[in-house]
Structure 1
Amino acid sequence: MKFGDIIVALGVIAIIIIIIIPVNESILDILLSLNISLALLILLIAMYIDNTLSFSIFPSLLLITTMFRLSLNISSTRMILSKGDAGSVIESFGGIVIQGNPVVGFIIFLIIVIIQFIVITKGSERVAEVAARFTLDAMPGKQMAIDADLNSGLINDIEARDRRKNIQKEADFYGAMDGASKFVKGDAIAGIIITVLNIAAGFAIGMITLDLTLTESLAKFTTLTVGDGLVSQIPALLISTATGIVVTRAASDSNLGNDIISQLFSSHPRVMFLVSGVLYFFGLVGLPTIPFFLLGTVFLVLGLVMRKNIKNALELEDEQEEEIDQEEIRKPENVKSLLKVEDIELEFGYGIIPLADSNQGGDLLDRVVMIRRQIALELGIVVPMIRLRDNIQLNPNQYAIKIKGVEVSNGELMFDHYLAMNPGTASGEIDGIDTVEPAFGLPAKWINQEQKERAEILGYTVVDPPSVISTHLTEIIKQNIDELLGRQDVKNLVDNIKEEHPALVEEVIPNIMTIGEIQKVLSNLLKEQLSIRDMVTILETLADYGTITKDTDMLTEYVRQRFSRYITKKYVDGKNLNVITLDSQLEQLIMDSINQTNTGSYLSLEPQMIQKILNNLSNNIKKLTSIGEQPIILTAPIVRLYFKQLTEQITNDFIVLSYNEIDPSIEIKSLGMVKL
């Protein structure tokens, strides 16, 4: 290889010299054989390359081989017309094709030339042209992708430089191929012209110079011309085919042979069975039986082998995946995945699995989706994904609901039964298994299918087991909804508002409040089951009062007062509202007991006083519930927050409103008063 560049340079010069200086027959035979050998070599290399850039000299090689072929054409034409002889190679090729019939031989030669020129050469030229254009058009996008990967740290400077260099080489290659394909086209045209000139001039020279008859001249020069054309056109055909292979192999990382085997005979056994069946059918309806039956059998065997290979490959892949999973589990860093705590989990025993399996007719997954939609509409918050898991530690028909990884409630179902509850208006008794409805703690009974219709006629509320779970899950989520709202959720809600109200968001965040402070206000609203869908009103209120106070509890009260129409609609049915009020002395005591600090305010009352207030409140609540009224406590605006905090010592279900949260058109009637 030390003097390889010199040898190549001398070879190119020798090609030019052959055009000018005549060569004898023996040397011409060797050069023609070398031409065919080079064409075969180029074709096979084109078939076995994995990447077009690994054969980047191909455009230059096309030019050199074309010049070499044309120089041999000129040398052979000189010998044919001057001596009536062109060596043993050309004569042998002509004799094999013509077989004693010059006309048929010439027609076969023309067919070969036409196929080479019209089909292969024209197609390769078009593909090279389109490939060059699309490669150049794609360069800016590829460059931007490299820059993006570099900026994100996926690759370093050296890798980026190598990828840019490869893109440039690829563009140069296809651009050169677009031009080099014109050499192949011109070579085919030149071969046709040279063949016509050889025959026409050969007839005349044979009859005039060599004293041959018309028949002898036709036989001799047709044989030599056809042989000469074949010797040049066969290498041209091979190289044209190689050109087509190189420019058409765009989306592959393997060689042509592997691609053909893998894509035709590796992954579609059904296709092989269909082809086999069609071939057998052709053999039965009158077409030659032996060849079609033979090929049908071949395709049938291929299909069976392919199906077996696919099965073995899947089994091997499963084994490898299992080994990989086991290796992953053993890695110490995978312990980190165990640290993740799901926001909401529904765990159930194996007996409840059919309710969550759609293949067994279960619709629990669909109900979970509807729960998320329902809460989004009611409270304006996107509930996190609810994870459903089976837990063998639970009883078969038991389920548990977890919030932040901690179990907050559970229940147990009876399959093939329905849960019947008396809403207070049912008439008559039904037989069943006594239980407690898990969502609201109401007394209920499990009844069988035969009693379902009778229970509904008597006025009982009857639900199936999936409805029991979904209702229970919905109530648990609502009770803990304030814990499920994180800063990222608030950021998503604010970003959603920012699309239509950018000025409002920019005013509030971060100039007046942070995401964390807004989260506390929203959590306070959700804790009392108030919807935060109207984020625009919430942010406008925070913009108005956020400069006055940073106390998120007080800001929550301002937002509630802006929500007076919504709160009135939520709790008032009609134009009248029956409530429990606070004695003026109690309200004054609460106001005097409020202590202000830098971090907020709190109520400072003696424990005995707090117990006395709560006992009085409980008595008033019992009076309202005994007459079927919903207990609503109405206070002064400044007292509402602190009295609500007092009632939470008993339960979170008490509704505490202020006068500013009720529409002025509503008539308020006090049915009880909490006193000292």
Structure 2
Amino acid sequence: MKARDLGKMAVPVGVVGIVLLLVVPLPAWLLDLLIVVNIVGSLVILLTTMYVQRPLDFSVFPSLLLIATLFRLGLNVASTRLVLRDGYAGEVIGAFGHFVVGGSLIIGLVIFLILVVIQFVVITNGAGRVAEVGARFTLDAMPGKQMAIDADLNSGLITEDQARQRRADVAAEADFYGAMDGGSKFVKGDAIAGIIITIINLVGGIAIGLLQRGMPISEAVETYSLLTIGDGLVTQIPALLLSVSTGLIVTRATAESDLGTSASKQLGQSRTSLVIAGSAAVALALLPGMPKLPFVLTGAVLLFAAQRMKSNEAKAAKEVLLDAAIATVGPAADTPEKLIEEMRVSALEILLAPDLVDLVSGSDDDLLARIRGLRRKIALDLGIVVPPVRTRDSVELPSATYVLRISGVEVARGEVPPGRVLALGDDLGSLPGTEVHEPVFGLPGKWVPAEMRFAAEMTGATVVDRVSVLITHLSSVIAENADRLLSREDVRVLTEGVKQVNPAVVDELVPSLLTLGEVQRVLQRLLSEQVPIRDLGRIYEALTLRAKVSTDAEGLVEAARGTLAPAITAQHAREGVLRVMTLDPVLEQALLEGLRPGDQGTQILLDPNRLEAMLRSFAGLRTTVENQGSTGVLVCAPALRPALRSLISMHHGEAPVLSYSEVTGSGVKIEAVGVVRDVEAIAA
């Protein structure tokens, strides 16, 4: 049988043997052997608790505690049977009854009672209380620890496997302290049982000696009292060892070393305290009547330890200076891997002023938790997986300021003053604070004290907390720069995801017709026009058909837009109505005639005056529609759409431009809101 199989069988066989102890009489020699095993086993458990670095490294302790307690009670029953039946319970109990306590009943009772008081009143009660509080606090802290793990995972500080392991450790820690809370009750009950069994043995033994064996009362008291005290000491010493083990394991905090190393290191961290203590010991030796040698010897040891600490500190300081000098002399320690790691630029980054670190509190609604929710929302809305957002503080930023970076370049910044909330509305004159504008929508507002939140709401203002302001700003930045955030590796991962459900379309498109780089360029252009790419299967089907005719990027984008037309139109429709702005037919024909191919796609060549008049007409019409509380899209011929969209976005920012084919096949109700003309140029 293998050693592993023996380990599997040892505990079940041992538990069955413990049960047999309760009913089967044992010979004295076997009882001696089991008592020695009990004492040595308890000592091994005690030493193991001293050398573990954290309680979870000895997670089997609660179960061992129960088994050891049951084993000890079984030995109590077996020894009681021998004491009452034969007046003899083996050499070990006899040795404890005669040699250890000097054969004196009084001494034996005193030692036994002292051990019981130490175990029951001091160690067991303290360990039980610590275990109870530890279990309660561990359970209360579980949600916060889980959120902290999720925050680290969301920030990219740990991997999925590391997060899974940490969650398992948190659950195991809660189970361990819960088991220890119950296990401490075993120790307390064992102490009570030891006292009761000792009293029963003493009274029962004297009664048997007097009534059954006809002993004189003095002989009966001496014989059975010494045996009972010996039996009690034999069982109370292992019980005391296990009680100490319980106290050590529940009070043991996670450390990087065992108990002895941690204790010596932390007790010796203050040289001054050792000098004072050693000097005090030597001074006590000078008092009249005090023994000189113990105090002088103890003081000398402490002063010697303090002197050794001084030399070690000097040596450590020299090593630090030497390391600093080596680092200053040359970059010998700067390996290529280290430099590459330091040069790596985060795709998304949030810099916080030092007074804003409270936003990352580890709670279930802090900045990191909200970023995780934002990444999920962006994935469902746009169809891209936002890279992990690196969050760190920067002492270079002004107070209450945050900065949003993409690929190491600042793209936006704002302010979220600590202890305040943002009140948005038009009638904020009665509220204290400096007037500001919300960074995304430009709404007027004021940062008011957090305690005035209710007062601000009573004025009709919309109150937003600091984290929401930052997250809204970050969401806007991600949406505006989604094309920059879509890397080639992201495209590969997305393509692999499509291949799992639709392998035929992927195999036909990549790399037979298009490379990953060409697919990335198409997807980036779609994202730059705020077109979601969630439906990658249909996008790839459209690209496959178009790529067989031409791999021109502009044509591929239009093909993809054609298959996504209903979704694009629905994105701009309000309550089933799409409000459209059209081009004057004469102007549209002129724009079509002015189309010219270029390196960046088709361009419009037209008289600058006509173009300027058209752009002013579009801007005025767009403003009119927005003032009516609505939004409008510009529609034009399919061949004209890419060039016209580029022209308008160059002068008026992002503006939706759709083709006739996209609008007519959408199934929504169309409402014309105006015509874009070049009237000024014609009049001129």
TM-score bracket, shorter-length normalisation: 0.5 to 0.7
Aligned to 1:524: 525
Superposition deviation, residue 413 in structure 1? 1.2
Superposition deviation, residue 322 in structure 1? 14
Aligned to 1:585: 586
Q: Distance in 2 between matches of 1:468 and 1:446?
A: 11
Match 2:119 to one of 267, 281, 302: 281
Tell me the alpha carbon deviations over residues 266-307 of structure 1, each in whole angstroms, 9 at most, x when there is no partner: 227989999999995389835547775699589969979962
Check conservation: 1:610, 1:646, Cα contact below 8 A. no
Aligned to 2:513: 512
Aligned to 2:543: 542
Check conservation: 1:435, 1:443, Cα contact below 8 A. yes
Alignment of 1:176-195 (within 5 A): none
Alignment of 1:114-129 (within 5 A): 126-127=1-2
Q: Is there any run of 5+ residues in structure 2 with no aligned partner, and where?
A: 7-43, 69-113, 121-190, 199-228, 270-311, 679-684
Q: 1:634 to 1:269 in 2, by over 3 A?
A: closer
Q: Distance in 1 between matches of 2:600 and 2:431?
A: 57
Aligned to 1:472: 473
Name the SS for the 1:550 alignment partner.
Answer: coil
Superposition deviation, residue 541 in structure 1? 0.5
Name the SS for the 1:579 alignment partner.
Answer: strand
Aligned to 1:399: 402
Deviates more, 1:482-491 or 1:655-664: 655-664
Amino acid at match of 1:345: E
The answer to whether the aligner puts 1:669 opposite 2:671 as a matched pair is yes
Tell me the alpha carbon deviations over residues 6-65 of structure 1, each in whole angstroms, 9 at most, x when there is no partner: xxxxxxxxxxxxxxxxxxxxxxxxxxxxxxxxxxxxxxxxxxxxxxxxxxxxxxxxxxxx
The answer to whether the aligner puts 1:351 opposite 2:355 as a matched pair is yes
Name the SS for the 1:577 alignment partner.
Answer: strand
Alignment of 1:219-618 (within 5 A): 266-267=51-52, 280-281=118-119, 285=195, 286=198, 287-288=229-230, 307-311=259-263, 330-333=333-336, 334-358=338-362, 363-422=366-425, 430-449=431-450, 451-596=452-597, 600-605=601-606, 607-618=608-619
Q: Distance in 2 between matches of 1:313 and 1:642?
A: 73
Check conservation: 1:439, 1:472, Cα contact below 8 A. yes
Amino acid at match of 1:266: Y
Q: Distance in 1 between matches of 2:53 and 2:556?
A: 67
Q: 1:264 to 1:674 in 2, by over 3 A?
A: closer
Amino acid at match of 1:356: V
Tell me the alpha carbon deviations over residues 302-346 of structure 1, each in whole angstroms, 9 at most, x when there is no partner: 979962324557999x99999999989942422221221110001
Name the SS for the 2:412 alignment partner.
Answer: strand
Tell me the alpha carbon deviations over residues 405-429 of structure 1, each in whole angstroms, 9 at most, x when there is no partner: 000000111222221223x7x7996
Superposition deviation, residue 602 in structure 1? 3.4
Q: Distance in 2 between matches of 1:323 and 1:407?
A: 39
Check conservation: 1:267, 1:310, Cα contact below 8 A. no
Check conservation: 1:414, 1:446, Cα contact below 8 A. yes
Highest CA radius of gyration, 1 or 2?
1
Q: Distance in 2 between matches of 1:566 and 1:496?
A: 21
Check conservation: 2:423, 2:463, Cα contact below 8 A. yes
Amino acid at match of 2:376: R
Name the SS for the 1:441 alignment partner.
Answer: coil
Amino acid at match of 1:437: E
Q: Distance in 1 between matches of 2:4 and 2:52?
A: 33
Q: 1:498 to 1:295 in 2, by over 3 A?
A: closer
Name the SS for the 1:637 alignment partner.
Answer: coil
Check conservation: 2:428, 2:446, Cα contact below 8 A. no
Name the SS for the 1:309 alignment partner.
Answer: helix
Name the SS for the 2:630 alignment partner.
Answer: coil
Calculate percent identity across the aligned residue pairs: 29
Q: 1:493 to 1:278 in 2, by over 3 A?
A: farther
Q: 1:329 to 1:557 in 2, by over 3 A?
A: farther
Q: Distance in 1 between matches of 2:321 and 2:259?
A: 23
Check conservation: 2:419, 2:449, Cα contact below 8 A. yes
Q: Distance in 1 between matches of 2:536 and 2:436?
A: 42
Q: Distance in 1 between matches of 2:602 and 2:440?
A: 34
Superposition deviation, residue 608 in structure 1? 4.7
Name the SS for the 2:602 alignment partner.
Answer: strand
Check conservation: 1:350, 1:392, Cα contact below 8 A. yes
Superposition deviation, residue 570 in structure 1? 1.3
Q: Distance in 2 between matches of 1:348 and 1:358?
A: 16
Q: Distance in 2 between matches of 1:567 and 1:434?
A: 37
Check conservation: 2:417, 2:447, Cα contact below 8 A. yes
Check conservation: 1:581, 1:633, Cα contact below 8 A. yes
Alignment of 1:200-215 (within 5 A): none
Tell me the alpha carbon deviations over residues 178-221 of structure 1, each in whole angstroms, 9 at most, x when there is no partner: xxxxxxxxxxxxxxxxxxxxxxxxxxxxxxxxxxxxxxxxxxxx
Q: 1:673 to 1:323 in 2, by over 3 A?
A: farther
Q: 1:574 to 1:408 in 2, by over 3 A?
A: same
Q: Give the TM-score, by structure 1 length.
A: 0.55
Check conservation: 1:279, 1:295, Cα contact below 8 A. no
Superposition deviation, residue 554 in structure 1? 1.8
Check conservation: 2:347, 2:408, Cα contact below 8 A. yes
Aligned to 2:99: none
